[in-house]
Chains A and B, each alone.
Chain A
Amino acid sequence: MDAKVQTKTSKGHDDAEREGLDQAGIRPMIGNEAIARGAWEAGVRVAAAYPGTPSTEIMEFLGTYPAGDSHVQWSTNEKVSLDVAIGGSFAGVRSITAMKHVGLNVASDALMSQAYIGVNGGLVLVVCDDPGIHSSQNEQDTRMFARFAQVPVLEPADAQEALDYTRRAFDISEEFDTPVILRSTTRLSHTRSPVKTRPRTDVEPRGFNEDTVKNVIIPAHARMAHPRVLAREVKLQEFFASPEFTRWEEGSTEIGIITASTAYSYVKEVLPEASVLKLAASYPMAIDRVREFYEAMDRVLVIEELEPVIETAMNAAGMPVEGKAFFPRDGEFSPEVVREGLRKAGIIEGAEEQVPFPVTPTARPPVLCSGCPHITSYMAVRSVNARVAGDIGCYTLAAVDPLRAIDTCVSMGSSIGNAVGFAKAGLETRPIIATIGDSTFLHGGIPALIDAVYNNANITVMILDNHIVAMTGGQDHPGTGKTLRGEETHRVVFEDMVRACGVKWVRKVDSYDMASLYQALREAIEHKGVSVVISDRPCVLDPVKLKGSPMQVAAAGCTACQSCMNLGCPSLGWSEEVLDGYHKVRIDETTCIGCSLCAQICPSDCIRPVVN
């Protein structure tokens, strides 16, 4: 099992590939691997992150480089991970943190201060946006955050640039005394292409800079820092004008396209003949160079994914330009989207409308795994007819058919605070339950739990402890007792932690023991004040894929009542046999893990282990 956990962290490299990793060469990499590589080549020494799609693999790949090169860790949340990286920078070494776009909301408090403080060792924040919302709560544009925090943002368009820009981000950070954001997108992070690599440059640590005025951000110091930040913006605008960061690709002058990030590759696909100004940084934008381009073209269009950051800056600088009139502010770009925008702008002819093939695709939404311990937790929650504040993780899937057991879901850690609000609003007659995953609880649930106790809210909190961060692909966290590199460490004991927050009623139950879980939840609800049920059972997929001997349905006994189908276990399906208008149930033995949940539910007692 230990070995399993460790191979997990070295995902992406088998031994053969691992050899010679530190040598220069060309190898295929996804964007996230290239970012990790760039950081390693730049001599990064401290790296910390909280997982989040599509950023997670960055730390996992960094963890495959020798431990002597960089310290690489999972943090409890993004704010902590940024603070760790800031600490590394203060100490004088190159440091990095990585997160998904919404992670920056959590980390933003530290970022806004650090933007004034600047850096000692180079400090890079990799932030991965998710245009198209492949797996997130929203599609906020990190470039707006960069503008807000007044820190530069680099936007690679492919894996090679991801590596190169990451390397350069550290130089820029040190030269201009600023944190630097490297902004990726889902498409870039998860596209594999050949990348030229180089060896690592070991950067001499700088040692702590004993400068209180710089390092301690009190009002007097902040007032001095702010003008520096504004001056930095101007210097960076000039710096980014170099061809390395603002690339002018000569083409027809009838139409000029200004673009950045992955949108660039769609532009090259659809309109290869146009003149293109490709910006590596939307902020601070190389405004003079942009103006030269603007003036050299008959017509200029800005093609940027999500928000009109470049467009707004150009308009503000007296260069009226078109962009979002033709290209959407929502959704992921693709060659089709760019083509459609160009058609609307009258630049290309519309392609002949293709008649779609008349077929009916099958709906295939994501589901909880066969035997997922979250299933029973929500069966229990359903049984008490409660108002349920949900949270973010695999278990959010319990909001949809067939469990339909969650009423709200906002952001990581919101459930407990939301439940307190529900209770204090005083209208709800049903019991109020907050359900929260183990990693989510550690990420943002603890302050909310203390709040609930402090304000004596009458709520029940169910911690879904599956011993892993499952949603993002199975990372360790402080409750697993293992570090990112798989070393043993202190393991958070949830009961102790909850009691330390002041909760008087706490019970831990095996998620697979349905009767005890139902019972515990009933009693917890009876308790006036905050009660906590810890539903405890490891995830069946990570860190080890569990598979027990399967169950089967004795068809003769099956009354086709569909009770077991309420679990939503994907191993349960309909057989051909129909009884009085309803299909009998069949278990797919290849995927069933034998958890017995369906057998516990079956009122006819006809689900039994397969006997060979």
Chain B
Amino acid sequence: MAGKVATKPRSVLIVGVGGQGVIMMSKVLALVCQRHGLQVKQSEVHGMAKRGGGVFSHIRYGETVSSPTIPKGEADVLLAMEWSEGLRWLDFLRRDGGAFIADTKRIVPPFAFRSRKYGSQPIYSPEAPREVMEMVGSGFALDATKIAAELGEPRAANTVLLGVLSTTLEFSADDWREVIAQNVPAKAQEANRLAFEAGRDWADASRASTMEDRLRELPGRDELAAEIAPKSVQFEITGEWCKGCDICVKMCPERCLRLNDEQIAELANPEACTGCRICEWLCPDFAIRVHRVPVLEPVA
């Protein structure tokens, strides 16, 4: 055993998205702790993980551990397997030197694309690795998939992260090596061994360089697709051509149309209309036109 184990419990929070292997990662850490006869509590909430939601796992170890969850602001390490999930849990990190280990991988959820308004951009955390690492001050942001891919096995990205994690905790590298070897299938042994060492080497190299150098290498706030000037929507219906078939009313994704008393389609909820034009395309009688009109900025 390298170093000595503190009596106050140590806390590692591992976060990511369903299917990324958060639980597997925490099991490896728990097994490493158990080799030292430590009390370990590993707490996770199952349930929505399979449906694409966020997953998190609290691991606390020490001579004795009371609370299974990590108090806010007391995580010694926050390991994020997905960028925005890391940001979500940032406040759990200890302010005095807690390490933020973050994969810069972005998994953009379907919810990000829900707005159909003209010019909409995906709704994803805008903060870029460079500014966040500068703010947090200690830790590592890396593209683990890229490092693993360079070794020929992109799926070993998790093990790269374990390599980085291993340099921040008190257990010896051999503890990790043995536990990882016991927990990966025979045919993936070599790839994972290399990935673990690559993660360690990356972390060591990173430590050797200055913070400024490290920050320079990270991506800055992404240049988002150029802003698209807003436009307003005008819905035009040729009443004489509408035969009240109701197709547009039923198919409008925003449910903003209805048939009026004369059985002619009308826009009942103009605020909700995104100008998607589905009604225009679906109307069998070409009775609908959707116009997108540039919004003129008021002259000051």
Interface residues of A (CB under 8 A from B): 28, 53-54, 134-135, 158, 186-187, 190-194, 262, 265-266, 268-270, 272, 334-336, 339, 354, 356-369, 382-385, 394, 397, 401-402, 404, 473, 541, 561-563, 565-566, 568-570, 572-574, 576, 578, 580-583, 603
Question: Are A54 and B110 in contact, with the CB atoms below 8 A?
Answer: no
The complex places the Cα of A578 from the Cα of B122 at a distance, in Å, of: 12
Question: Are B39 and A194 in contact, with the CB atoms below 8 A?
Answer: yes
Within 8 A of A (CB), among B30-48: 30, 34, 39-48
Question: Are B111 and A363 in contact, with the CB atoms below 8 A?
Answer: yes
Question: Are A385 and B250 in contact, with the CB atoms below 8 A?
Answer: yes
Question: Are B44 and A364 in contact, with the CB atoms below 8 A?
Answer: no
Q: Which of A358, A361, A368, A581 contacts B292 (CB 8 A)?
A: A581
Question: Are A190 and B46 in contact, with the CB atoms below 8 A?
Answer: yes
Question: Are A193 and B39 in contact, with the CB atoms below 8 A?
Answer: yes
- 4 nearest interchain CB pairs? A366-B51, A361-B88, A335-B71, A362-B84
The dominant DSSP class at the A interface is loop
B123 at the interface (CB under 8 A from A): yes
The complex places the Cα of A330 from the Cα of B247 at a distance, in Å, of: 46
The complex places the Cα of A268 from the Cα of B52 at a distance, in Å, of: 35
Question: Are A365 and B53 in contact, with the CB atoms below 8 A?
Answer: yes
Chain B residues contacting A404 (CB-CB under 8 Å) are 255
Closest to A136 in B: B47
B142 at the interface (CB under 8 A from A): no
B204 at the interface (CB under 8 A from A): no
Question: Are A566 and B253 in contact, with the CB atoms below 8 A?
Answer: yes
B225 at the interface (CB under 8 A from A): yes
Question: Are A134 and B66 in contact, with the CB atoms below 8 A?
Answer: no
Chain B residues contacting A566 (CB-CB under 8 Å) are 253
The complex places the Cα of A603 from the Cα of B81 at a distance, in Å, of: 37
Question: Are A562 and B253 in contact, with the CB atoms below 8 A?
Answer: yes
Q: Which of A28, A334, A357, A367 contacts B34 (CB 8 A)?
A: A28
Within 8 A of A (CB), among B49-65: 50-54, 65
Contact with A along B130-165 (1 / 0, CB 8 A): 001001100000000000000000000000000000
Closest to B226 in A: A578
Q: Which of B44, B48, B69, B114 contacts A401 (CB 8 A)?
A: B114
With A335-B69, A359-B125, A364-B85 given, can you name 6 additional A-B contacts, CB distance below 8 Å?
A: A28-B42, A357-B90, A362-B87, A385-B249, A570-B109, A582-B276
- A-B contact number at CB 8 A: 193
Q: A361-B125, A570-B52, A576-B225 are in contact. Are A561 and B281 (CB under 8 A)?
A: yes
The complex places the Cα of A36 from the Cα of B43 at a distance, in Å, of: 18
The complex places the Cα of A473 from the Cα of B47 at a distance, in Å, of: 8
Question: Are B113 and A573 in contact, with the CB atoms below 8 A?
Answer: yes
Question: Are A383 and B250 in contact, with the CB atoms below 8 A?
Answer: yes
Contact with A along B229-264 (1 / 0, CB 8 A): 001000000000000001001110101000000000
Q: Which of A272, A354, A364 contacts B17 (CB 8 A)?
A: A364
The complex places the Cα of A569 from the Cα of B44 at a distance, in Å, of: 26
The complex places the Cα of A397 from the Cα of B72 at a distance, in Å, of: 30
Query: Taking the nearest CB of chain B, how far is it from the CB of A578, in angstroms?
Result: 6
Query: Taking the nearest CB of chain B, how far is it from the CB of A54, in angstroms?
Result: 7
B119 at the interface (CB under 8 A from A): yes
Closest to B253 in A: A566
Query: Taking the nearest CB of chain A, how far is it from the CB of B244, in angstroms?
Result: 13
Closest to B91 in A: A356
Question: Are B228 and A384 in contact, with the CB atoms below 8 A?
Answer: no
Q: Which of B17, B112, B114, B228 contacts A581 (CB 8 A)?
A: B228
Closest to A159 in B: B41
Q: A54-B46, A194-B34 are in contact. Are A364 and B52 (CB under 8 A)?
A: yes
A-B contacts, 24 of them at CB < 8 A, read A28-B34, A134-B47, A190-B46, A192-B30, A192-B41, A192-B42, A193-B68, A269-B66, A270-B67, A334-B72, A335-B67, A359-B125, A367-B111, A383-B251, A384-B250, A402-B114, A402-B253, A565-B113, A572-B110, A572-B113, A574-B113, A576-B225, A580-B292, A582-B120
B126 at the interface (CB under 8 A from A): yes
Question: Are B109 and A362 in contact, with the CB atoms below 8 A?
Answer: yes
Query: Taking the nearest CB of chain A, how far is it from the CB of B37, in angstroms?
Result: 9
Chain B residues contacting A336 (CB-CB under 8 Å) are 71-72
Q: Which of A194, A269, A270, A569 contacts B40 (CB 8 A)?
A: A194
Question: Are B42 and A193 in contact, with the CB atoms below 8 A?
Answer: yes
The complex places the Cα of A310 from the Cα of B142 at a distance, in Å, of: 50
Q: Which of A266, A362, A603 contacts B123 (CB 8 A)?
A: A362
Interface centre among B43, B228, B277, B278 (most CB of A within 10 A): B43
